[in-house]
Each structure stands twice: as structure tokens, then as C-alpha cells.
Amino acid sequence: MKKIKKLSKFLTIIPIIYLLSACDKNVTISNYNNHIKEIKIGVTLYNQDDAFISTIVKNIEEIAKDKENDGNYKIIINVLDARGSASEQSSQVERFVSQNYDVICVNMVDRTTASTIIDKAKASNIPVVFFNREPVEEDLDRWNKLYYVGAEAEKAGEMQADIIINAYRKNKQMVDRNGDGKIQYAMLEGEPGHQDALIRSEYCIKAMEKNGIELEKVADDTAYWQSAQATAKMSKWINTYGDKIEVVFSNNDDMALGAIQALEGQNRIKNKPLVIGIDGIPKALEAVKKGTMIGTVINDSWKQADAIFNLAYKLATHGDMSSVQGLEKGKYIRTAHTEVTIDNVDLFLQKSTDK
């Protein structure tokens, strides 16, 4: 009996090792069983170092493991990092196609070049779920097996404005520190051409103006979603403008945290600007709790991961796509946002430690 046990252990290990070596890195496999059908989902990322993207991936892997425990399918998730190279991403898609993946999930390096990826997938009849970096509509209309999962970027911008407007109405001096009746602001932008950067900035400013708040733009620049680049930009602004900036709107949390780092330990500035981000990553929630950040807007990485995985699973198992919840125009899923300030941050801090 002992021998049989040992042998069966050995037999389960062989296919796992085989799969790990055959399919690049980050393969999730558990509950291997010869009688269970296998589905293969390929994921290619614009940059795995991105704080928000790496959270989405972690969530997808967790959700897939949970689903696998239902025992219906063995689920392989193979995650590849394109490290900012569109041509590398294109070869990754080719690799998934040549290895007969059931679905390919693409977080595009360059959202304007989806057609190359679409043509490759379509020729082999492999559906594609794009996420976070939205292809243009004409590209998504090229085939009926293309999907997009992302967030409502307009709302994120409007919610940032709402948090600042509420703070202003509660205590004018806290925001308009020089008392000139206007809000002097700086905008840290994500990435030129990224839908979330463009739309968030635009709708944030529009919402401030719609509410009759007078604004004066002191500075704006792109920091490519990255904390370190934001620290560099903010340091430059501090040197140039001193304490003229009253609010820093940042297109995401990582850059907001970078700006805060530049502000910390600055004695040149008596009145530090209020800093606001988007995403709700754990470090940002902690900053809101500590009071170094006035607020953030949750970009729901769990719901997005859930939507990406559910679409991929339904496609791979030839399920009924009309039963997918929240699917707009047969191809879009956009998750809602939530405002976070000191008033409700505990609720979200709790959730992020639960996961």
C-alpha cells in the first residue's frame, strides 16, 4: 500500500514538472488528474512591475485556483511579461497560438496596435480578452470573439474631483491655502495615449469647473504611472514653484505615493499640497489612513480579475456568452469605482488585508 502511495505521488509529479518546463513561467497547476479536461489561458502583460497590473494577475491566479477546486477542469494560466516591448508581446501571442491555448488575455503594450494581435488570434480561432489598456473600437469590431475588461475612467476622474470639492466645501482654507479663491493644481499623468490617463485628467478638471471651482494649472507632466518618475517630477516642481501648488491630482496611486515621497522631509514647503490618487492599492490606503494622502478612488482590481477570468473560462469551455453579467455591446465589461477618504478607509484596509 505504501509503495502504491509513493508511486502515485511520483506519477502526479511528473506531469507537473513536464508542464512547468513546457510552458514558460508562472504556471498555476493543482489537483492534477488524468481524467479531467484541461484549459489553457495565456496572459501577456505590458509590464509586470506595474503595481496595479501585478495585483490583477495575482487575483486572476487566485480566482482560477478556486475555480479549479470545483473539479471540472484543470486550469493552466501562463503569464508572460512583455516588458514594454510591443514586438515581444506579439511573439508571446504567437507562442500561445502555436501551443493551442484556448483563450489569450492581453494587456497591450501599445493599445493602437491591437490589429496585429487580433489577426493572429482570429486566424487560429482563439478568442482574445483585452484588459486595462483598451483597443480602439474599430479594432474590437473586427471579430465577434474579442472582449475588453476595464474601468469607467470618466467616473474615476469625477470622483477625484468630488473628494477635493467636498474637502473644499468643508474647510476652504485647507484646500485654497493662499486664499485667492482659486485652486492652484498640478496633474501627474499616467502615460500619453492611455485611455485611463487622458479620460481621468479630463473628467476630473471638467467636474471641478462644473462645480464652479476656479482652477489654475501650475504644472502637468507624464510620469508613466511610476512612483520613481513622479518623485522626480514633484521634486522639480517643488524647486520651481515652492509651495504654490495646493492640490496634486495623480492619475494613479503609485505616482501619488511618489509625489508624497518628494514632499516628505521638504522644509522649503510650509503648506504641503493635498495629494489624491486612483486605484486603492494597499500602500495608498495606508497613506490615506495616515493622512499623507487626502483620498483615492478604488479601481477594482478584484472585480476586473474576476471579469477577465470568467470571460476566459466561458470562452474556453464554450459556455453561453449571453449569460455573462455586465457585458455591454456584447464585448465590454467596465467595473465601477468607489471614493475613499479618511471617513471610510478602514473598510477597505480591512478588505485588502483579508485577501
Binding site for ligand BGC (CB under 6 A): 50, 52-53, 132-133, 194, 196, 225, 252, 254, 278-279, 299
Residue nearest to Ca ion (CB): 176
Q: How far is the CB of 184 from Ca ion (least distance, A)?
A: 5
Quick one: what does residue 239 bind among Ca ion, ligand BGC, none, with the CB cut-off 5 to 8 Å set by partner type? none
Paired sense of beta strands 296-299 and 337-340, if any: antiparallel
Quick one: what does residue 339 bind among ligand BGC, Ca ion, none, with the CB cut-off 5 to 8 Å set by partner type? none
Q: How far is the CB of 54 from ligand BGC (least distance, A)?
A: 10
Nearer to Ca ion, 30 or 178 (CB): 178
Quick one: what does residue 133 bind among ligand BGC, Ca ion, none, with the CB cut-off 5 to 8 Å set by partner type? ligand BGC
Q: How far is the CB of 245 from ligand BGC (least distance, A)?
A: 22
Quick one: what does residue 176 bind among Ca ion, ligand BGC, none, with the CB cut-off 5 to 8 Å set by partner type? Ca ion
Calpha distance 258→256 (Å, rounded): 5
Q: Dihedral (C-alpha) 336, 337, 343, 344: value to the nearest 10 degrees?
A: 60
CA-CA distances (angstroms) from residue 82 to 93, 140, 174, 278, 282?
10, 21, 43, 24, 25
Q: At what angle do helices 253-263 and 227-241 cross, to 10 degrees?
A: 40
Nearer to ligand BGC, 183 or 205 (CB): 205
Answer whether 17's CB lies under 8 Å from 5's CB. Answer: no
Quick one: what does residue 178 bind among Ca ion, ligand BGC, none, with the CB cut-off 5 to 8 Å set by partner type? Ca ion
Nearer to ligand BGC, 110 or 196 (CB): 196
| Residue at 113: amino acid letter | T
Q: Dihedral (C-alpha) 283, 288, 290, 292: value to the nearest 10 degrees?
A: 100
Q: How far is the CB of 10 from ligand BGC (least distance, A)?
A: 43
CA-CA distances (angstroms) from residue 108 to 65, 111, 197, 204?
25, 5, 15, 25
Quick one: what does residue 252 bind among Ca ion, ligand BGC, none, with the CB cut-off 5 to 8 Å set by partner type? ligand BGC
Q: How far is the CB of 263 from ligand BGC (least distance, A)?
A: 20
Nearer to ligand BGC, 184 or 227 (CB): 227
Q: Which residues bind Ca ion (CB under 5 A)?
A: 176, 178, 180, 182
Nearer to Ca ion, 182 or 355 (CB): 182
Q: Which residues pair with 221 in a beta bridge?
A: 188
Surface-to-core class of residue 293, CB atoms within 10 Å of its CB (0-12 exposed, 13-18 middle, 19+ buried): buried
> Three-class SS of residue 264?
coil
Q: How many CA atoms lie within 13 A of 124 on its CB side?
A: 18
Q: How far is the CB of 189 from ligand BGC (least distance, A)?
A: 11
Quick one: what does residue 180 bind among ligand BGC, Ca ion, none, with the CB cut-off 5 to 8 Å set by partner type? Ca ion
